[in-house]
C-alpha cells in the first residue's frame, strides 16, 4: 500500500483522469440502478406493501390478477384452511378519472377491498373509510400532483360514477398508475349501476383472494382446492403486465455498465502497467516480491474505485434532493451496498490483467531495456 500511495501522489494528473472516468461510470451505474428500482416500485408498490404473502387466482389466468375470476365458494374454501381473518377478496379495475372543477384526466387502478381486512389502505392524511361509507375513496398521494385534494370529487370516466376523496395513502401504485381504494358496496354500484345503491349487497365475484398463510397452509390450499393457483407475492409481482420485461431491459443495461466499467479500468491500468514495465523489473531485481507489486496495483485500483464511489454517492444524494417527485427513483440501503460492492469487485477483476502483466515482467530483460 505504501508503494501505491507514493505513486498516486507522484502522478496526480494521470490517476485523477482515471478517477474521473471511474466517477462518471459509478455515478451512471448508481443512477440507472435507482431509476430501475424506482420504476419497479412505481409498478408494484400497491402489492409489495400488502401484508399478505400469498394470492389465490384462477387456474388458467396465468397468475395475472385482472384475468382471474373467483367466486364466494372459493373464498369459503380458502377461509376454511387459513381462517376468516387471513383471507380477503380483492377486485381490480383500471380506468380513467376526471375531477370536478379541475381540467385533468388521470389513469388509475381501482382496488375494491374489505376495509377491515389485512389489505385495507393505511391512511396518511384525511379520514379512513369503512365498509358502510358510500361514495368515498382513499387515493394514492401521487394524485395530489394533478390537483386532487381531500374533499375533491372525482368521476370514473367509464361509468360516470362520482366519488369523494376522503384521504390519501403513500406509495400505492399498480402498473404505474395510482391506486384508488374503495369499499365493496361502491364497487358493486360502479360495476352494476344505480340498482344496488343504498342496498346491502354481498360481493360474490372477485379477481383474487389475498391470503396471509404459512408455507404448509399454502401447500394445503394448492392441494385442496381445484381450478385455482396459489402464488407467492413475488410471483404475483412478476405477473404484473410489463414488469418483467421492463426490469429485464434495465437489469441488462446495468449489467453492461458493470462490464464496461471493468473493461475501461482494465485498459487504462494495463497501459499504465506497460509504461512502468522497466520500473517493475528494477524493483524485482532489487528483491521486491511479485506479490508486493501485485498488491500495489490492486491497492491503487481499490483506492481509486472507493474514492470515486464515495464521491458518486454524494452526487446521487444531492441529485435525489432536486429530482422532481414525479420521477421514480429509489435507492435503498441494501441496494446501495450491493451495487457498491459489485462496482468495487468488478474494478478489482478488471485490474487482474495488469497484475498478470506485473507477474510476467522479467527483471533481467527490464534492466537490459533500461540500459539500452
Listing DSSP states for 184-207 in one string gives HHHHHHHHH-GGGTTS-----EES
Q: Report how far apart, in Å, the C-alpha atoms of 245 and of each of 31, 41, 44, 239 are.
A: 20, 14, 14, 10
Q: Are residues 176 and 282 in the same domain?
A: no
Q: Are residues 200 and 283 in the same domain?
A: no
3-state SS class at 261: helix
**Domain assignment of residue 90, yes or no:** yes
Residue that the C-alpha cell 420521477 belongs to: 327
Give pLDDT tens digits for 302-313: 888 899 899 999
- Please say which residue of 161, 186, 206 terminates a domain: 206
- Give the list of residues 6+ apart from residue 126 with CB closer than 8 angstroms, or none: 138, 150, 165, 166, 167, 168
On whether the CB atoms of residues 202 and 51 are closer than 8 A, the answer is no
Number of domains making up the chain: 2
Q: Are residues 82 and 155 in the same domain?
A: yes
Give pLDDT tens digits for 332-362: 888 889 988 988 888 888 888 877 877 777 6
**Domain assignment of residue 18, yes or no:** yes
**Domain assignment of residue 65, yes or no:** no
Give pLDDT tens digits for 245-290: 888 888 888 888 888 878 888 888 888 777 777 777 776 777 777 7
pTM of the entire structure?
0.78
d(CA 215, CA 239): 20
On whether the CB atoms of residues 268 and 89 are closer than 8 A, the answer is no
Q: Are residues 87 and 164 in the same domain?
A: yes
Q: Are residues 103 and 202 in the same domain?
A: yes
Residue 9 sits in which domain range? 2-44+243-371
**Domain assignment of residue 233, yes or no:** no
Amino acid at each position: 500500500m505504501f508503494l501505491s500511495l507514493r505513486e498516486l501522489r507522484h502522478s496526480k494528473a494521470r490517476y485523477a483522469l482515471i478517477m474521473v472516468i471511474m466517477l462518471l461510470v459509478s455515478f451512471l451505474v448508481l443512477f440507472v440502478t435507482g431509476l430501475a428500482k424506482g420504476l419497479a416500485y412505481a409498478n408494484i408498490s400497491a402489492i409489495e406493501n400488502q401484508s399478505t404473502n400469498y394470492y389465490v387466482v384462477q387456474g388458467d389466468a396465468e397468475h395475472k390478477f385482472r384475468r382471474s375470476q373467483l367466486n364466494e365458494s372459493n373464498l369459503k374454501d380458502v377461509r376454511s384452511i387459513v381462517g376468516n381473518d387471513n383471507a380477503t377478496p380483492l377486485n381490480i379495475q383500471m380506468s380513467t378519472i376526471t375531477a370536478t372543477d379541475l381540467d385533468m384526466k388521470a389513469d388509475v387502478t381501482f382496488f375494491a377491498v374489505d376495509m377491515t381486512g389485512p389489505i385495507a389502505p393505511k391512511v396518511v392524511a384525511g379520514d379512513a373509510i369503512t365498509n358502510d361509507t358510500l361514495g368515498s375513496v382513499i387515493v394514492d398521494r401521487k394524485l395530489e400532483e394533478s390537483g386532487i385534494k381531500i374533499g375533491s370529487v372525482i368521476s370514473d370516466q367509464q361509468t360516470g360514477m362520482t366519488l369523494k376523496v376522503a384521504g390519501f395513502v403513500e406509495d400505492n401504485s399498480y402498473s404505474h398508475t395510482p391506486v384508488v381504494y374503495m369499499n365493496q358496496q361502491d364497487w358493486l354500484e360502479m360495476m352494476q349501476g344505480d340498482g344496488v345503491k343504498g342496498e346491502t349487497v354481498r360481493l360474490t365475484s372477485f379477481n383474487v383472494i389475498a391470503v396471509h398463510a404459512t408455507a404448509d397452509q399454502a401447500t394445503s390450499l394448492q392441494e385442496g382446492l381445484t381450478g385455482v393457483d396459489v402464488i407467492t407475492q413475488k410471483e404475483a409481482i412478476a405477473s404484473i403486465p410489463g414488469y418483467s420485461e421492463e426490469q429485464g431491459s434495465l437489469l441488462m443495461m446495468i449489467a453492461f455498465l458493470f462490464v464496461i466499467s471493468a473493461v475501461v479500468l482494465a485498459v487504462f491500468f494495463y497501459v499504465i502497467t506497460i509504461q512502468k514495465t522497466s520500473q517493475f523489473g528494477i524493483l524485482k531485481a532489487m528483491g521486491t516480491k511479485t506479490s508486493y507489486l501485485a498488491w500495489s496495483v490492486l491497492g491503487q485500483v481499490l483506492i481509486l474505485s472507493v474514492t470515486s464511489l464515495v464521491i458518486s454517492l454524494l452526487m446521487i444524494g444531492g441529485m435525489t434532493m432536486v429530482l422532481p417527485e414525479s420521477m421514480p427513483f429509489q435507492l435503498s440501503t441494501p441496494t446501495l451496498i450491493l451495487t457498491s460492492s459489485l462496482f468495487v469487485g468488478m474494478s478489482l477483476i478488471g485490474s487482474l490483467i495488469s497484475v498478470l502483466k506485473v507477474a510476467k515482467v522479467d527483471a533481467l530483460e527490464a534492466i537490459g531495456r533500461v540500459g539500452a
